[in-house]
């Protein structure tokens, strides 16, 4: 991988914003099914099926982005829209409440994935547009490599935040003679929550809700970086290369 791509703009900002954006995306996608299992007490199948909405949103917007760029030749607009939706959608997860209706919670999943639909294809097309033909294979591989690194880091970092936050909130919220047994049980398996006594069940749910909120706050904070990198980026129209 040529190191100049990491300090020469616009390549560097495009690669870094895409990689950091992938951290936010995977932090959310990896943990949102856990929210519906641990807080809403849904089955793994039911919580996983909710991700169909995210796939549809990202696919539809991604396809529309390709048509828009072809028609308008504008590259900057979908890039900026992508990071705005990613940041705004990530912040919505912080305000999720288990007493909200199911349809409202499902709608919360859409905005951040609209951001993904804008960001991924527009970044791919833009980085090709600003690269010489001889460099396009290498720069494409570099972009995919750093995006994959971001996806892996999204799982790792969000898991680190979640596990430490969960331990803290379980210690804060769970009380009673069976406290240590409850903490150990719900940390080992989410399914154990539904089998607890009502008092302990409520305490465990509140602990998971608070821990996941902390994780989504981390994802939102990370999403600020791609916004800062992208807003100041200067890219030509499609078909124009300096």
The predicted-structure confidence for 19-47, as pLDDT tens digits, reads as follows 999 999 999 989 999 999 999 888 888 88
The predicted-structure confidence for 87-146, as pLDDT tens digits, reads as follows 999 999 999 988 888 888 888 999 999 999 999 999 988 888 888 877 788 888 888 888
The answer for residues whose C-beta is within 8 angstroms of residue 241's C-beta and 6 or more apart is 129, 130
Give the global pTM: 0.89
Domains and CATH numbers, the chain: 3-152+220-231 (1.20.1250.20)
Q: How far is CA 38 from CA 87, 107, 149, 218, in A?
A: 25, 19, 28, 19
């Amino acid at each position: 991988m040529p190191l100049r791509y990491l300090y020469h703009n616009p390549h560097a900002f495009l690669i870094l914003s895409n990689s950091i954006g992938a951290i936010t995306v995977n932090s959310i996608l990896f943990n949102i099914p856990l929210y519906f299992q641990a807080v809403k007490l849904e089955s793994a199948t039911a919580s996983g099926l909710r991700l169909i909405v995210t796939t549809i949103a990202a696919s539809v917007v991604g396809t529309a982005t390709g048509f828009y760029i072809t028609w308008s030749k504008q590259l900057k607009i979908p890039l900026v829209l992508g990071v705005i939706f990613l940041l705004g959608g990530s912040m919505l997860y912080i305000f999720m409440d288990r007493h909200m209706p199911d349809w409202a919670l499902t709608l919360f999943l859409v905005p951040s994935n609209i951001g993904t639909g804008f960001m991924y294809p527009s970044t791919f097309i833009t980085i090709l547009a600003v690269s010489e033909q001889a460099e396009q294979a290498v720069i494409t591989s570099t972009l995919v490599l750093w995006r994959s690194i971001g996806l892996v880091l999204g799982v790792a970092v969000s898991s680190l935040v979640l596990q430490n936050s969960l331990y803290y909130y379980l210690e804060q919220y769970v009380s009673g003679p069976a406290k240590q047994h409850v903490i150990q049980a719900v940390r080992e398996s989410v399914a154990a929550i539904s089998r607890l006594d009502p008092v302990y069940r409520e305490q465990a749910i509140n602990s998971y809700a608070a821990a996941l909120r902390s994780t989504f706050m981390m994802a939102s904070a990370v999403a600020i970086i791609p916004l800062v990198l992208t807003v100041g980026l200067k890219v030509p129209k499609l078909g124009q290369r300096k």
